[in-house]
Chain A
Amino acid sequence: MTMKVIDMTNPTFPLDFPGTAVITDNGDEVSYAEMKRLTERWEPSIPARALVFLLVGNNLQSLVAYVACINRGIVPLMLSMEIDGGMLRHLIEVYKPSYVWRCRDGIAEKIDGGGVDLHPSLALLLTTSGSVGSPKLVRQSYENISANTSSIIEYLMLDETERPITTLPMNYTYGLSIINTHLNVGATILLTEKTLMQREFWNFFTSQNATSFGGVPYTYEMLDKLLFFRRRLPSLRTMTQAGGKITPELHRKFAEYALREGKHFVVMYGQCEATARMAYLPPEKSLEKIGSMGIAIPGGQFRLIDENGNVIHDADVTGELVYEGPNVTLGYAEKAEDLNRWDDFHGILLTGDMARRDADGFYSIVGRKKRFLKIFGNRVNLDETERLIKGHFSGIDCACGGKDDQMVIYITDKNMQDIVQEYIAAMTHLNFKAFKVVTVEAIPKNEAGKTLYGVLETLNV
């Protein structure tokens, strides 16, 4: 990787477009020129190369703060404004930011003893989506953001006529990539904190002629239940999907709908470790290739490797998916000193996902190497969840399994079921319905003390 460092004369967001950058659901309209002024004036006392925690929501203040940071060489860690207080304190202790900025009051609080050395190529920090308890971050460079942004603009053919409506939080890599790409083509972002389940969302959608939205698999399940296909949405052009594998049934339904209505349904694949996006299924193939997440994005390459690390050349053979491209991030951070590291991944990402390539070169995810689930699009590590529960509740044993959108937490004390469920929902900020807690007499283990997950799943409880 070339070492692209912060360059104030050539910012990541030039913002020199005519027209409107943002429309909010409370009626504010902000032109690109105004956006530029707002970002230049944002928190003038915060210097370049300061680490700032941004507690954000899908509102104008948050967007201005994010763009200001990136353009002015301030390094933000993007966090939800709903973040658990304990987790925030822990992150502050570990990473020692200079400031914590909250969109709710727009105040940048200076942190005593804050301030760390940041590598000159470091642009942005994100949590590994929804990761419980762990302060592990992904380090993204200026080059990563630029490279991924241009690839996405190219394959989605974005231009200034787009009007994406926000459906994903901007502290989530997929939500952020929608903002990055559209602000770089002069499009108009329709900014709302309302959800698909609210009348106000749909009123805003139709009155402002939204052209696209993104969704995780659960978003599409909800849309299906809301009989989305009956809704008249003439302005809609594109629906993108990422954040986990959509069921083949829903893939088919939305692909058929898109074809019938002259819209695009684009299944995609990505990870925070690859900035955002690694693959997309060209919409004209969406019906033909149900279950596939497509081909590598422009500038990227995939290969599959077997357990010995050898490249698999034959079609329809399962192996670990490896991605190579300029959007592969610098690496992880687990402590403040890591923020001064340069490139650990060297442009190559072992995705941890098991995949197959068909004879036409299209990839499908078939499983995972690492023990994690995607819950409503958020990655939740099963081993980390176990450690968290065992650490918080002394005297219980615990093991986690289940499937996407439905984790099963096995514990050994019946009286703790509700409190464990509450605790995990609070820590992950995910709906408690995603966590089913069941009691078993003992967690099955082998002689070496390793949990036998296979046995656990067969226990009828």
Chain B
Amino acid sequence: MTNIEKYTQSFVESFDISPEIVPTLKYQSIQAWDSVGHMALMAKLEESFDIMMEPDDIIDFSSFEKGKEILAEKYNVDFDA
């Protein structure tokens, strides 16, 4: 699985949604992405990419796009791989 697939899959599993809508997601744009869902997503990403997210990154993680930037810049996740 590529990194972008792994990333998308983390949203799918945390929010129980179909992969097509994932790229448009923002915090609280769907009921499942509330603070409870946010913690679940962070745990899932930490597990999938074997990383430990910093609290500042957890609270900056406000959308699918923003999260991608954070993982690429701070955790060396290469989304072209």
Contacts and interface: CB of A to CB of B under 8 A. Distances in A.
A227 B55 contact: yes
Interface residues of A, number: 27
Residue among B28, B40, B59, B60 facing the most chain A CB atoms (10 A cut-off): B59
A362 interface: no
Interface in A191-227: 195-199, 201-202, 218, 222, 225-227
Nearest to B34: A431
Given A198-B59, A202-B59, A227-B55, A433 B31 contact: no
Contacts of B42: 225
A36 to B, nearest CB: 33
A228 B55 CA distance: 8
A166 B2 CA distance: 41
Contact of B32 (A195, A227, A432): A432
A429 B62 CA distance: 21
28 contacts: A195-B34, A196-B35, A197-B35, A197-B38, A197-B39, A197-B59, A198-B27, A198-B62, A199-B59, A199-B60, A199-B62, A222-B35, A222-B39, A225-B55, A225-B58, A226-B58, A228-B55, A376-B36, A425-B31, A425-B32, A426-B31, A430-B36, A431-B31, A431-B34, A431-B36, A432-B16, A432-B32, A433-B36
Contact of A226 (B34, B40, B59, B62): B59
Given A197-B59, A199-B62, A226-B58, A429 B36 contact: no
Interface of B: 16, 27-28, 31-32, 34-40, 42, 55, 58-60, 62
A421 B32 CA distance: 12
A197 B40 contact: no
A231 B55 CA distance: 10
Contacts of B59: 196-199, 201-202, 226
A434 interface: yes
Contacts of A218: 36
A226 B55 contact: yes
B3 to A, nearest CB: 24
Interface of B is mostly: helix
A433 B31 CA distance: 11
For A197, A199, A376, which residue has the most chain B Cβ atoms within 10 angstroms? Answer: A197
A433 B40 contact: yes
Contacts of A430: 36
A241 B31 CA distance: 25
Contacts of B55: 225-228, 230-231
Contact of A197 (B16, B27, B32): B27
A198 B42 CA distance: 13
A422 B35 CA distance: 18
Contacts of B38: 197
Report the 10 A-B pairs with minimum CB-CB distance, sorted nearest first: A431-B36, A226-B55, A197-B38, A197-B35, A227-B55, A195-B35, A199-B59, A199-B60, A431-B37, A433-B40
Given A196-B59, A432-B32, 16 more contacts: A197-B59, A198-B59, A199-B62, A201-B59, A225-B42, A226-B58, A228-B55, A230-B55, A418-B16, A422-B16, A430-B36, A431-B31, A431-B34, A431-B37, A432-B16, A433-B37
